[in-house]
Amino acid sequence: MVMDRKPYVAGRFYPDDPQKLGSMLESFFEVADTKAAVPSIIVPHAGYMYSGKVAGAVYSKIAVPEIVVIIGPNHTGLGAPISIWPDGSWETPLGNVPVDNGTIMALLNNSRHAKPDTQAHLNEHSIEVQIPFLQYCKKGFKIVPIAMGDYSIEAIEDLANALDKATSGKEVLFVASSDFSHYEPEYTAKARDRMAIDEIKKLDWMAMLRVVAEKEITMCGAGPIAVATELAKRRGATSGKLLAYSNSGVMSHDFSNVVTYAGMAFR
Protein backbone atom coordinates (compact mmCIF):
# COMPACT_ATOMS: atom_id res chain seq x y z
CA MET A 1 0.00 0.00 0.00
CA VAL A 2 1.43 3.34 -1.07
CA MET A 3 1.56 5.84 1.78
CA ASP A 4 2.16 9.58 1.45
CA ARG A 5 3.93 11.33 4.28
CA LYS A 6 2.04 14.36 5.58
CA PRO A 7 3.84 17.43 6.98
CA TYR A 8 4.52 17.26 10.72
CA VAL A 9 6.10 20.65 11.48
CA ALA A 10 4.46 22.90 8.86
CA GLY A 11 3.03 25.90 10.68
CA ARG A 12 5.64 25.53 13.44
CA PHE A 13 9.14 25.17 11.97
CA TYR A 14 8.12 26.91 8.75
CA PRO A 15 4.95 28.55 7.35
CA ASP A 16 2.13 26.27 6.22
CA ASP A 17 0.92 28.89 3.76
CA PRO A 18 2.61 28.37 0.35
CA GLN A 19 2.95 32.08 -0.39
CA LYS A 20 4.44 32.92 3.00
CA LEU A 21 6.75 29.91 2.77
CA GLY A 22 7.93 30.96 -0.68
CA SER A 23 8.62 34.50 0.51
CA MET A 24 10.55 33.24 3.52
CA LEU A 25 12.65 30.92 1.37
CA GLU A 26 13.37 33.75 -1.07
CA SER A 27 14.76 35.81 1.81
CA PHE A 28 17.22 33.03 2.69
CA PHE A 29 18.65 32.52 -0.78
CA GLU A 30 21.73 34.40 -1.92
CA VAL A 31 22.50 35.49 -5.47
CA ALA A 32 24.93 33.03 -7.06
CA ASP A 33 26.39 33.32 -10.55
CA THR A 34 26.79 29.57 -10.90
CA LYS A 35 25.42 26.50 -9.17
CA ALA A 36 28.08 23.94 -8.34
CA ALA A 37 27.45 20.22 -8.73
CA VAL A 38 28.58 18.76 -5.41
CA PRO A 39 28.23 15.22 -4.07
CA SER A 40 27.23 16.04 -0.47
CA ILE A 41 26.14 18.90 1.76
CA ILE A 42 25.53 19.42 5.48
CA VAL A 43 22.59 21.64 6.44
CA PRO A 44 20.74 22.39 9.70
CA HIS A 45 17.15 21.44 10.50
CA ALA A 46 15.89 23.87 13.15
CA GLY A 47 12.96 26.22 12.74
CA TYR A 48 13.54 28.39 9.70
CA MET A 49 13.69 31.62 11.71
CA TYR A 50 16.77 30.21 13.47
CA SER A 51 18.64 28.17 10.86
CA GLY A 52 17.06 29.12 7.53
CA LYS A 53 19.80 31.57 6.54
CA VAL A 54 22.51 28.94 7.07
CA ALA A 55 20.60 26.38 5.01
CA GLY A 56 19.87 28.97 2.34
CA ALA A 57 23.55 29.88 2.07
CA VAL A 58 24.27 26.27 1.08
CA TYR A 59 21.29 25.62 -1.19
CA SER A 60 21.94 28.93 -3.01
CA LYS A 61 25.28 27.66 -4.28
CA ILE A 62 24.55 24.09 -5.36
CA ALA A 63 22.87 22.39 -8.28
CA VAL A 64 20.10 19.99 -7.28
CA PRO A 65 20.03 16.83 -9.43
CA GLU A 66 17.04 14.57 -10.06
CA ILE A 67 17.79 12.29 -7.09
CA VAL A 68 18.34 13.62 -3.56
CA VAL A 69 19.18 11.31 -0.65
CA ILE A 70 18.29 13.02 2.64
CA ILE A 71 19.80 11.45 5.76
CA GLY A 72 18.57 12.85 9.06
CA PRO A 73 18.84 11.83 12.69
CA ASN A 74 15.99 9.97 14.33
CA HIS A 75 15.11 12.23 17.27
CA THR A 76 12.12 10.17 18.42
CA GLY A 77 13.75 6.73 18.72
CA LEU A 78 10.74 5.17 16.99
CA GLY A 79 10.96 2.69 14.14
CA ALA A 80 13.92 0.88 12.64
CA PRO A 81 17.47 2.07 13.52
CA ILE A 82 18.12 2.76 9.81
CA SER A 83 14.69 3.58 8.46
CA ILE A 84 13.86 4.13 4.79
CA TRP A 85 10.50 5.62 3.80
CA PRO A 86 9.59 3.03 1.14
CA ASP A 87 7.11 4.54 -1.32
CA GLY A 88 4.58 7.24 -2.13
CA SER A 89 5.52 10.89 -1.77
CA TRP A 90 6.27 13.56 0.82
CA GLU A 91 3.87 16.48 1.03
CA THR A 92 4.81 20.07 1.85
CA PRO A 93 2.86 23.32 1.40
CA LEU A 94 4.70 23.66 -1.94
CA GLY A 95 3.45 20.33 -3.28
CA ASN A 96 4.35 16.65 -3.26
CA VAL A 97 7.78 15.15 -3.93
CA PRO A 98 7.86 11.45 -4.94
CA VAL A 99 10.25 9.00 -3.37
CA ASP A 100 12.67 7.20 -5.69
CA ASN A 101 11.40 3.61 -5.52
CA GLY A 102 14.14 2.22 -7.75
CA THR A 103 16.97 3.63 -5.67
CA ILE A 104 15.24 2.61 -2.45
CA MET A 105 14.84 -1.00 -3.59
CA ALA A 106 18.50 -1.14 -4.63
CA LEU A 107 19.52 0.38 -1.28
CA LEU A 108 17.50 -2.14 0.71
CA ASN A 109 18.89 -5.02 -1.34
CA ASN A 110 22.47 -3.91 -0.66
CA SER A 111 22.18 -3.10 3.06
CA ARG A 112 22.15 -5.35 6.11
CA HIS A 113 20.92 -2.54 8.36
CA ALA A 114 18.43 -0.45 6.36
CA LYS A 115 14.75 -1.42 6.65
CA PRO A 116 11.58 -0.12 5.00
CA ASP A 117 9.76 1.73 7.77
CA THR A 118 7.42 4.70 8.18
CA GLN A 119 7.18 4.90 11.98
CA ALA A 120 10.55 6.63 12.39
CA HIS A 121 9.50 9.37 9.94
CA LEU A 122 5.98 10.36 10.98
CA ASN A 123 6.96 12.70 13.85
CA GLU A 124 10.51 13.46 12.68
CA HIS A 125 11.41 16.92 11.37
CA SER A 126 15.03 16.56 10.24
CA ILE A 127 14.19 15.37 6.71
CA GLU A 128 10.94 17.28 6.25
CA VAL A 129 12.45 20.74 6.72
CA GLN A 130 14.94 20.16 3.87
CA ILE A 131 12.30 19.48 1.23
CA PRO A 132 10.90 23.04 0.77
CA PHE A 133 14.47 24.30 0.20
CA LEU A 134 14.94 21.66 -2.48
CA GLN A 135 11.56 22.50 -4.03
CA TYR A 136 12.59 26.16 -4.18
CA CYS A 137 15.73 25.11 -6.07
CA LYS A 138 14.28 22.61 -8.52
CA LYS A 139 11.13 21.07 -9.91
CA GLY A 140 10.87 17.40 -10.77
CA PHE A 141 13.22 15.59 -8.40
CA LYS A 142 12.82 12.47 -6.28
CA ILE A 143 13.99 11.77 -2.75
CA VAL A 144 15.34 8.89 -0.69
CA PRO A 145 14.40 9.69 2.95
CA ILE A 146 16.56 7.98 5.58
CA ALA A 147 16.07 8.39 9.34
CA MET A 148 19.24 7.25 11.09
CA GLY A 149 19.32 6.18 14.72
CA ASP A 150 22.29 3.78 14.66
CA TYR A 151 25.61 5.67 14.55
CA SER A 152 27.86 2.63 14.94
CA ILE A 153 30.83 2.34 12.58
CA GLU A 154 29.29 -0.83 11.15
CA ALA A 155 25.99 0.92 10.38
CA ILE A 156 27.71 3.96 8.88
CA GLU A 157 29.90 1.85 6.59
CA ASP A 158 27.00 -0.43 5.63
CA LEU A 159 24.73 2.50 4.71
CA ALA A 160 27.49 4.28 2.78
CA ASN A 161 28.31 1.10 0.85
CA ALA A 162 24.66 0.40 0.07
CA LEU A 163 24.00 3.98 -1.08
CA ASP A 164 27.15 3.97 -3.19
CA LYS A 165 25.99 0.82 -5.00
CA ALA A 166 22.36 1.93 -5.27
CA THR A 167 23.28 5.26 -6.87
CA SER A 168 26.21 4.09 -9.01
CA GLY A 169 26.26 5.95 -12.33
CA LYS A 170 23.53 8.37 -11.24
CA GLU A 171 23.68 12.09 -10.54
CA VAL A 172 22.71 12.36 -6.89
CA LEU A 173 23.00 14.79 -3.99
CA PHE A 174 23.53 13.43 -0.47
CA VAL A 175 22.10 15.74 2.20
CA ALA A 176 23.19 15.29 5.81
CA SER A 177 20.67 17.04 8.05
CA SER A 178 22.24 18.06 11.35
CA ASP A 179 22.40 20.79 13.94
CA PHE A 180 25.67 21.07 15.86
CA SER A 181 26.00 21.95 19.56
CA HIS A 182 22.87 22.12 21.70
CA TYR A 183 22.08 24.32 24.72
CA GLU A 184 25.39 25.69 25.90
CA PRO A 185 27.16 29.08 25.86
CA GLU A 186 28.06 30.37 22.42
CA TYR A 187 31.80 30.59 23.09
CA THR A 188 32.17 26.96 24.23
CA ALA A 189 29.89 25.66 21.48
CA LYS A 190 31.79 27.48 18.76
CA ALA A 191 35.18 26.27 20.00
CA ARG A 192 34.10 22.64 20.09
CA ASP A 193 32.18 22.80 16.82
CA ARG A 194 35.32 24.04 15.07
CA MET A 195 37.17 20.90 16.15
CA ALA A 196 34.56 18.71 14.46
CA ILE A 197 34.31 20.98 11.42
CA ASP A 198 38.08 20.84 10.92
CA GLU A 199 37.91 17.04 10.64
CA ILE A 200 34.92 17.19 8.30
CA LYS A 201 36.84 19.59 6.05
CA LYS A 202 39.54 16.91 5.77
CA LEU A 203 36.90 14.26 4.96
CA ASP A 204 38.00 12.34 8.06
CA TRP A 205 34.68 11.23 9.48
CA MET A 206 36.30 8.74 11.85
CA ALA A 207 38.28 11.58 13.44
CA MET A 208 35.10 13.68 13.51
CA LEU A 209 33.30 10.95 15.47
CA ARG A 210 36.23 10.70 17.91
CA VAL A 211 36.18 14.47 18.47
CA VAL A 212 32.41 14.43 18.99
CA ALA A 213 32.77 11.68 21.61
CA GLU A 214 35.86 13.00 23.38
CA LYS A 215 34.73 16.64 23.50
CA GLU A 216 31.11 15.67 24.21
CA ILE A 217 29.80 17.70 21.29
CA THR A 218 26.01 17.45 21.24
CA MET A 219 25.77 17.26 17.44
CA CYS A 220 22.57 15.38 16.61
CA GLY A 221 23.48 14.24 13.09
CA ALA A 222 27.00 12.85 13.45
CA GLY A 223 25.93 9.60 11.78
CA PRO A 224 24.34 11.27 8.73
CA ILE A 225 27.38 13.56 8.42
CA ALA A 226 29.71 10.55 8.50
CA VAL A 227 27.76 8.80 5.73
CA ALA A 228 27.58 11.92 3.55
CA THR A 229 31.29 12.58 4.08
CA GLU A 230 32.25 9.04 3.11
CA LEU A 231 30.10 9.25 -0.03
CA ALA A 232 31.59 12.62 -0.94
CA LYS A 233 35.06 11.06 -0.72
CA ARG A 234 33.99 8.15 -2.94
CA ARG A 235 32.55 10.58 -5.49
CA GLY A 236 35.84 12.43 -5.83
CA ALA A 237 35.61 15.21 -3.25
CA THR A 238 38.93 16.29 -1.76
CA SER A 239 37.76 18.76 0.88
CA GLY A 240 34.78 20.19 2.69
CA LYS A 241 34.07 23.90 2.89
CA LEU A 242 32.22 25.77 5.62
CA LEU A 243 29.76 28.09 3.84
CA ALA A 244 27.85 29.47 6.83
CA TYR A 245 27.80 29.19 10.61
CA SER A 246 25.41 30.71 13.13
CA ASN A 247 23.47 30.02 16.31
CA SER A 248 20.04 30.49 17.84
CA GLY A 249 21.21 33.42 19.94
CA VAL A 250 21.19 35.64 16.87
CA MET A 251 17.38 35.48 17.01
CA SER A 252 16.73 34.84 20.72
CA HIS A 253 19.47 37.26 21.93
CA ASP A 254 20.37 34.67 24.56
CA PHE A 255 23.96 33.63 23.89
CA SER A 256 24.28 31.71 27.15
CA ASN A 257 22.24 28.76 25.87
CA VAL A 258 22.46 28.32 22.10
CA VAL A 259 21.99 25.73 19.38
CA THR A 260 24.55 26.05 16.59
CA TYR A 261 24.16 25.57 12.85
CA ALA A 262 26.81 24.84 10.23
CA GLY A 263 26.32 24.75 6.46
CA MET A 264 28.96 22.85 4.49
CA ALA A 265 29.54 21.51 0.99
CA PHE A 266 32.09 19.04 -0.37
CA ARG A 267 34.00 19.71 -3.55
Q: What is the mean pLDDT of residues 139-146?
A: 97
Q: What is the mean pLDDT of residues 259-264?
A: 98
* 0.75 exceeded by pTM: yes
Measured CA to CA, the distance from residue 212 to residue 230 in angstroms comes to 17
Measured CA to CA, the distance from residue 265 to residue 267 in angstroms comes to 7
- What confidence category does residue 31 fall into, taking pLDDT thresholds of 50, 70 and 90? confident
Task: Write out pLDDT tens, residues 99-109.
Answer: 999 999 999 99
Alpha helices (H) in the chain, listed in sequence order:
18-28, 48-59, 101-110, 119-122, 130-137, 153-166, 186-201, 205-214, 222-234, 249-252
Mean of pLDDT over the chain: 97
Residue 226 has a pLDDT of: 98
2, pLDDT greater than 80: no
Residue 3 has a pLDDT of: 84
Task: Write out pLDDT tens, residues 183-213.
Answer: 999 999 999 999 999 999 999 999 999 999 9
Domain 38-266, CATH: 3.40.830.10
Q: What is the mean pLDDT of residues 70-77?
A: 98
